[in-house]
Structure 1
Amino acid sequence: MIKLESLTKSYRTNHGRKVLFQNVSATFPEGKNIGILGCNGAGKSTLLRIMGGIDYPDSGRVVTDQRISWPMGLSGGFQGSMTGRENVAFVCGIHGIWREGKRRVMDQVQQFAEVGNYFDLPIKNYSSGMRSRLAFGLSIAVDFDVYLVDEVMSVGDAHFKRKCELVIAEKRKSSNFIIVAHAMQLLRKNCDVGIYLDGGQVKVCHSVDEAIDLYQARMPDSQRQKNEITSAVNV
């Protein structure tokens, strides 16, 4: 169960305060893979960060009895002066993973990230692609009830995208996913239901196609064509 209770979130900008959500309440469908859609600036990534404990609302709260991951591929939390191995060990400690469990996570991340000897070098020496691979590998190596995915499958080369798809397909056997993406076919392939964000409101849809229809109805033709191309590339 994941519920938003009277959630309000805003940011201060040079043009005043931008309100993303105002006293929003919603209950996410239980036991479903969920696709989140909305125009740019609707608050999709912010909502994922709040659910994953990376960001906090101005007021209200997220209520859940599930273990929710941080957004997959999020590398902003890495300590640049620490090695990849040290960063993974630190995250294991935060989540109470020790001994054999820690070794399993370490081996899985190192194998997935494919950074070679860089695994024992400071993160600040990594390319952006290496950081993304390490971050995704760490996200998937720790067991959660619900995984949050924010456009991670739209970056990187074809080999990396395929690895992401395969590991998500395997994890879906025992866990659920909440995915933010602009690739419609990717959402149709991986999600059961949809959530559409618009004007600070969170609309829970009975199917991912219903959310896609709402999203495309508000989308300019040029953006719709761009997304159709992106969808074709990511399938």
Structure 2
Amino acid sequence: MIRLENLTKIFSMDGKRKVVADNVNMVFPTGRSVALMGRNGAGKSTLLQMIAGTQDPTSGRIVSTGSISWPVGFAGSFHADLSGAQNTRFIARIYGVDCDELVGFVEDFAGLGVHFHLPLRTYSSGMRSRLAFGVSMGIGFDTYLVDEITAVGDAAFRARSSEIFLDRMKRSGAVVATHSMSQVRELCDAAVVLENGNLIFYNDVEEAIAHHKRNMATDT
């Protein structure tokens, strides 16, 4: 369970304000895979970072139960001079999981080949995302935060990503930020629409998609 209590997030610069969350009260239920939809710039990634605890709200708080992943696709915690394998071992130690087991899983899943043993600074953004997704899926979180990651890679990798994600959802929940309606239908059983600092929760994914499409149709 993730509960937002009077959550407000405002960015201010040069007299201009961007409101991501405007005194929001809402619950992401335990064990549900919830799509997070909104226009570009609505604040989906910012909301995920606040849930993960890597960014503070302006006011209010987020209360959660169980373990929560970092936003999948975010490789900011990786060290550029360490290899993919070394970064994976470092994260395994932090989260208290078996290092060799996690390294073996990530090496097989991410499909980085020899690059897995080369410094991260030699990686493309897509390779970093594949590594980040593999590491997070290799650790058993109660809730996974996902930010567009399954769009990365070729068709075979996207198929593997969807397969392992659905397997994890048998035991865990997720919040999935995505622009892909096909991903929403495939991966999620509930949805939230973020618009102008407000969040609206839908148990019916199709109702959420219709709301999101109406918002996009009025985008100028």
TM-score grouping bracket, smaller chain normalisation: over 0.9
Q: In 2, Cα distance between the equivalents of 1:12 and 1:137?
A: 35
DSSP 3-state at the match of 2:71? strand
2: CA distance between counterparts of 1:107 and 1:15?
50
**Corresponding letter in the other structure for 1:135:** A
User: How far 1:86 moved relative to its partner?
Assistant: 1.7
CA distance in 1, matches of 2:54, 2:135: 16
The letter of the residue matching 1:203 is I
Question: What does residue 167 of structure 2 align with?
Answer: 170
Contact 1:2 1:66 in 2 (8 A): no
Unaligned runs of 5+ in 1: 224-235
In 2, Cα distance between the equivalents of 1:61 and 1:7? 6
Does structure 1 retain, via aligned residues, the 8 Å contact 2:31–2:171?
no
Structure 2 match to 1:229: none
Q: What amino acid is aligned across from residue 165 of structure 1 in structure 2?
A: S
1:111 maps to which residue?
108
Task: Tell me which residue corresponds to 2:182.
Answer: 185
With the length of structure 1 as denominator, give the TM-score of the two structures. 0.87
Q: Residue 40 of structure 2 aligns with which residue?
A: 40
SS in 1 for 2:216: coil
Aligned counterpart, 1:5: 5
**1:78 equivalenced with 2:75 (yes/no):** no
Question: Which amino acid in 1 is paired with 2:190?
Answer: V
Read off the aligned partner of 1:140 and give its amino acid letter.
M
TM-score by length of 2: 0.93
2:156 maps to: 159
1:131 aligns with 2:131: no
Match of 1:77, SS state, is coil
Figure out how many residues of one structure are paired with residues of the other and give that number: 220
**How far apart are the structure 2 equivalents of 1:60 and 1:200?**
14
Match of 1:56 in 2: 56
Percentage identity across paired residues of the two chains: 40
Segments of 4+ in structure 1 off by > 6 A? none
Instruction: Structure 2: give runs of 5+ residues left out of the alignment.
Output: none
Task: Let me know the Cα RMSD of the aligned residues.
Answer: 1.8
